Amino acid sequence: MHLTGASFGPMLSESVRAAGDTPESAAMTSSSTRGLPFWVSPAILAAAAAYLHSRWDELPARWVVHWGADGRANGWAGKSWPEVYFPLLMGLGVWVIMEAVGAAVRSQSEAATLTTLPFLRWVSVGLSLMLAYLAIQLPLGHPEIGHTLKVVALLVGGGIVAGIVHSSLAFAAARREGTITLLPGYHGAYYANREDDRLFVPKLSGMGWTLNFSNPLAWPVLVLSIALPLVLAAVVVWLAR
């Protein structure tokens, strides 16, 4: 079976059935789509800010915030309000963007909300934990670059994995209970349909495209899209040495 892009978009929209009007359905929809409360990320950032404030007198006058490709420190921050709280303010900005995207997705369909909102909030939590860690550890912990990168990767990667798992489970539960019905191939956070020979298909949100993981070219394309920017970045760093 082959579905053209022109016909697939309307079919996708028409195939998404919103939750029923019963109280049980509404309660299930509310809990499964939102997952994490919206305030978790700002609460993490606020807790980190309060901790830094409580240890303000212990903060050094200067600390490392950046390392070069050779592992040597080449950037520092000082004991001022903007520099101390900058990572947390950055996290707040990321949270606002994530919630704005989530609000846009909620206006699309129930299926788009199930697959996207939990993912966005878990990624936001992972980034908030990472920035809170950096805001505290850099001035107070005197970390090494290797250890810092491992913790950053763990926190951000953990948020991404948790978001994928949460959205997939919520989506599967909603399909089992009949809250939503979709065209074949959609499994929450990914699309896989052996009867569809396209490599790229529309996302549930209707915004953008995603890979069809039943297509044999999907994994090579995914690996290439991740590896190519990393290789280019490595080349730029090597040339700059």
Beta bridge partners of 73: 67
Amino acid identity, position 19: A
Residue 2 confidence (pLDDT) above 50: no
- Give me the pLDDT at residue 13, please: 44
Amino acid identity, position 78: G
Which two structure tokens, joined as six digits, stand for 157? 């990667």
* Crossing angle of helices 81-106 and 40-54, rounded to 10°: 170
Q: Give first-to-last CA distance, the chain, whole Å.
A: 52
Closest to 38 measured CA to CA, from 98, 113, 126: 98
- Give me the pLDDT at residue 11, please: 45
Residue 134 confidence (pLDDT) above 80: yes
What mean pLDDT is predicted for residues 88-92? 96
d(CA 98, CA 124): 7
- Give me the pLDDT at residue 84, please: 95
d(CA 162, CA 18): 25
Which residues does 131 contact at the CB level (< 8 Å), separation at least 6? Answer: 45, 48, 87, 88, 90, 91, 94
- Lowest mean pLDDT, pick from 38-42, 90-94, 126-130, 235-239: 235-239
Whole-angstrom Cα Rg for the chain: 22
User: If pLDDT is split at 50, 70 and 90, which confidence band does 114 have?
Assistant: confident
Closest to 87 measured CA to CA, from 118, 55, 129: 129
What tens digit of pLDDT does each residue of 21-69 get? 333 333 334 444 446 899 999 999 999 999 999 999 999 999 988 877 7
Q: Where are the beta strands (DSSP E) in 54-212?
A: 62-67, 73-78, 200-202, 209-211
What mean pLDDT is predicted for residues 158-181? 82
What tens digit of pLDDT does each residue of 182-203 get? 678 887 667 899 999 899 988 7
CB 135 within 8 A of CB 84: yes
d(CA 218, CA 198): 10
Beta bridge partners of 90: none
142 torsion bin: left (phi>0), alpha (psi -120 to 50), beta (else): left
CB 170 within 8 A of CB 118: yes
- Residues 224-228: contacts with CB within 8 Å, 24+ apart? none
Q: What is the percentage of the chain residues whose pLDDT exceeds 90?
A: 41
What tens digit of pLDDT does each residue of 206-237 get? 667 889 999 999 999 989 988 888 788 777 66
- Verdict on whether the full-model pTM lies above 0.75: no
